[in-house]
Amino acid sequence: SQELEQSPQSLIVQEGKNLTINCTSSKTLYGLYWYKQKYGEGLIFLMMLQKGGEEKSHEKITAKLDEKKQQSSLHITASQPSHAGIYLCGAVSNFGNEKLTFGTGTRLTIIP
Partner 1 sequence: GAVVSQHPSWVICKSGTSVKIECRSLDFQATTMFWYRQFPKQSLMLMATSNEGSKATYEQGVEKDKFLINHASLTLSTLTVTSAHPEDSSFYICSATLAGGPSDTQYFGPGTRLTVL
Binding site residues, partner 1, CB under 8 A: 30-31, 33, 35, 40-45, 48, 88, 90, 92, 96, 98-105
CA distances from residue 104 to 57, 59, 72, 77, 87 in whole angstroms, order as listed: 23, 25, 14, 22, 9
Q: Measured from the CB of residue 104, what is the shortest distance to partner 1 in angstroms? A: 5
Nearer to partner 1, 82 or 98 (CB): 98
Question: Do 67 and 29 meet the contact criterion of CB atoms below 8 Å apart?
Answer: no
Candidates 76, 72, 110; CA nearest to 89 is: 72
39/112 with CB nearer partner 1: 39
Q: Which of 67, 44, 70, 43 is nearest to 55 (CA)?
A: 67
Q: How far is the CB of 46 from partner 1 (least distance, A)?
A: 11
Smallest gap from residue 78 Cβ to partner 1 (A): 27
Taking the least distance from each CB to partner 1, the nearer of 92 and 110 is: 92
Nearer to partner 1, 19 or 92 (CB): 92
Secondary structure class of 3 (helix, strand, coil): coil
The values of phi and psi at residue 82, to 5°, are: -70, -15
**Least distance from partner 1 to the Cβ atom of residue 44, Å:** 8
